[in-house]
Structure 1
Amino acid sequence: MRIVNISLAALAMGMASPALAADTEVATIEASQPSEERMALALEAVDLLWPEGQGVDMVNFFTGEFANMMLDTPIAELARDFGMEEMVATFAGIEGALKEEGVAEEDMPSADEMKATADFLLAMLGDKTLREMAVGEDEHFNERVTIIRAVLAEELPPIMNAAEPKMRAIMAQMFAKKFSDQELREIGAFADTAAGQKYVDLYWTMGFQPEYYRSIIAAMPEFVKGFPELGKAMEARMAHLPPMFPEPAAETSCETNDEGEEVCVEAAIEPVEDEESYTETPEELDELAAYYEEEAAEYRRQAAERRAAAEAE
């Protein structure tokens, strides 16, 4: 009886914890059949994630504002906007962590090499935009873009408008299963505020802004530094378990003898010793350096010719 009482007390404490209490509340809501009122409230809440006309708005954004930014911003500027410099700085931040984990220097570029490569690429790109480069390869590029936009503007809205109600209905069912009537009213109330409307208008486009990508890149050093310790903790916790994919100790080979019978023999698998990684000789490294210097000179020559041709036009 004492064990039962202790178990019940432990269960009661667990139920009192916020996580389990929340799970229980959601399970209770899911068990109930959503009323028409709740479904109506849920559909209003869906407006925060997918308001009516969202599909068409997304197409207009990608073919309009976003496409113009990508096409008409100089490539070098785009590279900077989307985090090339942060990427170089990020690599400088994780270089030490990689070395600590035993990654050989010859197996990864240094931060200085990364910066030199980035500077070279930016210099080679110059002030050209993607549109200018595309027009240089295809004189009808702008006309193609105009046609694509016109076709999407004319043909896609009916498709999206036909599919959207079904999507919103399924999302509403999910909301109705996870939220109570009062919670749905609170979500709807927020959607009706000025801040809620601004959130609806901006939240999905913000994920495509350059600042978003730069923030991810800037956070990478912390991930890289933290994951080795995370891996060690996993290994320590699983040390008592057998390997998930154990190496077979033996392999079986079968052959058919003269009498047509299959004869199988099992042989132990000899462990394979790790081969030493190949290291280039100083002479081989000199040859590689000379090759890439020639290649870089050729790229610079082509870039100068294209700039001169553009200026002549």
Structure 2
Amino acid sequence: MASAPLALTFGTPAAAQDAESEEDVMAMMAQMFPVEPLTPEEEARLPISQEIIDKMIPPGTLGEMMGSMFDGMMGPIMEMASKASSGDVAKSLGVSAYELDLNEKQLAEVATILDPVREERNAAIGAVMPAIMGRMMDAMEPSMRKAMTEAYAITFTDAELQDINAFFSTESGLSYARKSFTLASDPRVIGATMEAMPAMMEAMANMESEMEAATADLPPLRAYEELSPGELSRISELTGLGLEDIKTGMMAASEVSE
């Protein structure tokens, strides 16, 4: 049962069914992070920036670096994923998770009945994930190297880049350059993040009420009844939805939000 979320997380056939829509989403995501052209001064710093990035991520090694990092993370992740969840069991049974009142042992029994090879399935998925992630990193490496080179050229002055490059040219500096990129995956760092999660959630506990207070002086979203015929027609024209579809959808959305 736990294999379902893994498969969904790392790619499913459905992800390739609408290539045009996916390209639109990717284009929209790219537009969310517009970049300014480099200035002549920044362009001049690109060569030394490239030297630094080459020391941090030698060409062709990003997949290997990320693969070793992923190997260290996969054990705990797969152990967690191998446990049956009420959400997975409920999905297979076609019911809501709220309708199930099962303890961990009962969940595991139901999950095994539904998928007798659940553990083998999870193990197989876990075995291929490093290779899949490695290919993803290999595909991403040229763009990442270019972006990091430009980011260093923008962020640091000539003198700072010279100092960084000089340090990275030492034995200790080169070791740091290679290892710093994957330090975020150290079990201590990941564990500390998990330990801090309850405190983070507590800090976010009042987020909804604070957001409501911040927007209290603003009018609420307009309901279907508040839209003029002209506005409804324009929405229909822009979205391709029929007027009746718009009415039905907005009325349903209004009921859900109440």
Query: TM-score with structure 2 length normalisation?
Result: 0.45
Computing the radius of gyration from Cα coordinates, the structure with the larger value is: 1
Give the TM-score of the pair, scaled to structure 1. 0.38
